[in-house]
Amino acid sequence: MSSAKKIQDQFVSALKTLSPAFPISQQVIGAFYAVPRHHFIKKYRLPDKSEWVEVNDQNLEENLSYLYTNDPIIIHGSAEDFVNPEGKPIATISQLDLVLFMLELLKLEKGQKVFELGTASGFNAALMGHLVGPTAIRLTPLTTGPFLLRVPPTCPESFLKMSKREAG
């Protein structure tokens, strides 16, 4: 079993205790396993640090536990951008339980069309793509920055019909 799979298993186990009154379906859990979050994070910054941590094959193992933390992860923007209204765009990859709860509420089914505004890393878009199915080719995410959307090699292109708009 891979280290990522072990960490995913730990998260799924913890998720069951977070909200027992609102269980996550096997369909959404299956998407979580099929679309590894760590493939969508090429760098991140800890909230109290200014340095970026690059994620690559050589240091992936040491970063996995943080990449699967149940917190939003900063993937673009400086500390100043978070407090300065005139700052540059910022982005996070959303908190895991929130993402899975939202997907559960959507009740996506194979063949449905999905439009996501604010795609950022592409993680949520890929999860939705997994849920609506690769033959549907109906997922159309839209993002406003060329620096964010990242389609990892494990996400078949048939999941995504990309539409990008530059912020202007």
State how far the Cα of 145 lies from the Cα of 38, in Å rounded to an integer: 20
State how far the Cα of 32 lies from the Cα of 103, in Å rounded to an integer: 10
The type of residue at 2 is: S
Do the beta carbons of residue 125 and residue 39 sit within 8 Å?
no
Place of tokens 């996550």: 24
Give the Cβ contact number of residue 70 at 10 Å. Answer: 12
State how far the Cα of 57 lies from the Cα of 2, in Å rounded to an integer: 14
User: Taking Cα atoms as reference points, which of 114, 120, 115, 111 lies closest to residue 151?
Assistant: 120
State how far the Cα of 114 lies from the Cα of 77, in Å rounded to an integer: 27
State how far the Cα of 103 lies from the Cα of 44, in Å rounded to an integer: 24
Annotation marks residue 19 as catalytic = no
Catalytic one of 13, 50, 78, 94? 94
Q: Would you please indicate which residues are annotated as catalytic (active-site) residues?
A: 94
